[in-house]
Structure 1
Amino acid sequence: MRIYVIIVAAIVLHTTVYAAEIFWYHDYNTAVHKAKEEKKNIFLLITGKTCRWCRKLESTTLEDSTIVARINQHYVAVALTRSLDDYPEYLDAKMVPMSFFLTSEGRVINSMPGYWNVEDYHSILDDVTYYLNKQHRSH
């Protein structure tokens, strides 16, 4: 019986950890509205339809449970495809993938082009958090 309980607990834990995913919006204006409503910043990912580095970022780094948790907790996430979806012109994605961190008003906090592994993405998120905390303290 004890082994059965351990196996069930392991399955539930495994499912919970790996079921977590970023809650994506696919419309920029809807994401901005939601960010203002929830008093959160925006994480905008712009990808390309045939971009292999975009797929790698999406299938590795952005599926890591620790990255997912941080993004879902602190940001409204929106995923858009360059040349297919509408977003403000000033958010110029000359290369993809492009990660933008924005205020709920759309002001750019930070932007990072390219693929980044989990460790580096945590560092990027740390930098954004540091900047936001510094801004908050100065006001």
Structure 2
Amino acid sequence: MKVRLTFLIVLIAIAVGNAQTKINWMTLEEAYAKQKITPKKVLIDVYTGWCGWCKVMDKETFTNAEVIKYVNQNYYAVKLDAESTKDIKIGPKVYKYDAANRSNEAAIALLQGKMSYPSIVYLDEGFNMIQPLPGYMNAKDFHQIITYFGGNYHKKEQFENYKANIYGKLFSKKTI
């Protein structure tokens, strides 16, 4: 009986540990639906299959334990292939593939027509734009940005002040 109980405890510990080993990515539609039930900020990774820096972020930035923990706790995380030919329905609006721009209309709207990959788009709890940010980010820089938006510091502090004076006090014991 003790062996079974120990084995069960080990399995539970492994399951709990694995729950935070990756970002809980979802589709834009899934995030929209979840946000309607339980409002949360939304982080959208707009990428393409051919983007080398997108793959580097997947391997290095999105696998950092502190990034994973913060994103899963504070955001609905979305992976959006900018070149997806699938229709994307958000509320009454349907976003289609735009052959002329070789991109989905959802990606064009989120990136405000400035198609750059990777780009991370931040939405508030009402699914309203906070800001799109283009370019590769390492785990430390990305963590600074997700905590800046996630903690609503963008409403009261300039990012440089947050980074220089607040971030270190909040996360001084963290290793990114």
Return the TM-score normalized by structure 1: 0.75
| Alpha-carbon contact 1:32-1:105 (below 8 Å) kept | no
Distance 1:88 1:19, change over 3 A: closer
Deviates more, 1:52-61 or 1:88-97: 88-97
Q: Which runs of 5+ in 2 are unaligned?
A: 1-9, 89-105, 157-176
Equivalent residue in structure 2 for 1:131, among 154, 169, 172: 154
Task: Report whether the alignment pairs 1:38 with 2:57.
Answer: no
Distance 2:20 2:146 in 1: 22
Task: Report whether the alignment pairs 1:95 with 2:116.
Answer: yes
1:107 CA displacement: 1.2
Q: After superposition, what is the alpha-carbon deviation per residue over 1:41-88, rounded to whole angstroms, capped at 9, x for unaligned?
A: 111111011111000001111110100010000111110101115426
Query: If you compute each CA radius of gyration, which structure gives the higher value, 1 or 2?
Result: 2
1:18 CA displacement: 9.4
- What SS class does the counterpart of residue 94 from structure 1 fall into? coil
Distance 1:96 1:89, change over 3 A: closer
Identity of aligned residues (%): 24
Return the TM-score normalized by structure 2: 0.61
Q: Which runs of 5+ in 1 are unaligned?
A: 1-8, 135-139
How many aligned residue pairs are there?
122
Distance 1:29 1:117, change over 3 A: same
Map of 2:23 onto structure 1: 22
Distance 2:29 2:19 in 1: 29
Higher relative contact order (CA 8 A, sep 6+): 1
Structure with the higher helix share, 1 or 2: 1
**One-letter code aligned to 2:140:** E
